């Protein structure tokens, strides 16, 4: 059975509405998202949790830009000033692309790995280690979990 273009569009839009993938005006959300690496809106600011702080007093800024799949997938830009913290991913998968700065990540029981502008990496669920920000870092992140 062949459906008209109009019927296929109504079906696709119906699925968007059914899955609650709508903007604030009730329009279907775009499935293409550009990550703004220098957002104009103010970030959420935070500090390291005391139980994870190892050295320094790193400050964090998060510009959350997208959430999808029932709030399971998050995308945005994150920045940290120099310092050292425990990194514990738990059940979260995280892809990172470094925009600027330098960090060193040391997996528990492993050797330090240094990342700088242009580098990308993944921390898989269960990852634990030390995150050391050497130069203020800014990254694009995508988390799942």
Does residue 31 surpass a pLDDT of 90?
Answer: no
Query: What's the number of domains the chain is made of?
Result: 2
Are residues 42 and 92 located together in one domain of the fold?
yes
Tell whether 62 and 2 lie within a shared domain.
no
88/26 same-domain check: no
Positive or negative torsion for Cα 117, 121, 125, 130: negative
Return the CATH number at 116: 2.60.120.10
Do both 38 and 90 map to the same domain? yes
Q: How far apart are CA 41 and CA 18, in angstroms?
A: 30
- pLDDT tens-digit profile of 54-106? 999 999 999 999 999 999 999 999 999 999 999 999 999 999 999 999 999 99
Residues 6+ apart with CB under 8 A from 18: none
Provide the domain limits for residue 138. Answer: 33-144
Confidence of residue 15 (pLDDT cuts 50, 70, 90): very low
**Is the same domain home to 39 and 10?**
no
* pLDDT of res. 3: 54
pLDDT of the residue at 17? 43
């Amino acid at each position: 059975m062949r459906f008209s273009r109009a019927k296929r569009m109504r079906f696709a839009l119906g699925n968007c509405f059914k899955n609650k993938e709508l903007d604030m005006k009730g329009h279907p959300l775009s499935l293409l998202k550009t990550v703004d690496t220098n957002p104009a809106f103010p970030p959420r600011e935070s500090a390291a949790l005391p139980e994870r702080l190892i050295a320094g007093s790193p400050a964090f800024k998060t510009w959350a830009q997208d959430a999808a799949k029932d709030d399971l997938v998050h995308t945005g830009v994150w920045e940290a000033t120099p310092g050292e913290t425990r990194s514990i991913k738990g059940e979260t998968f995280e892809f990172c692309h470094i925009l600027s700065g330098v960090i060193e990540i040391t997996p528990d029981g492993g050797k330090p790995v240094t990342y700088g502008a242009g580098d990308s990496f993944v921390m898989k669920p269960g990852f634990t280690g030390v995150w050391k920000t050497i130069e203020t870092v800014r990254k694009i992140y995508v988390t799942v979990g």
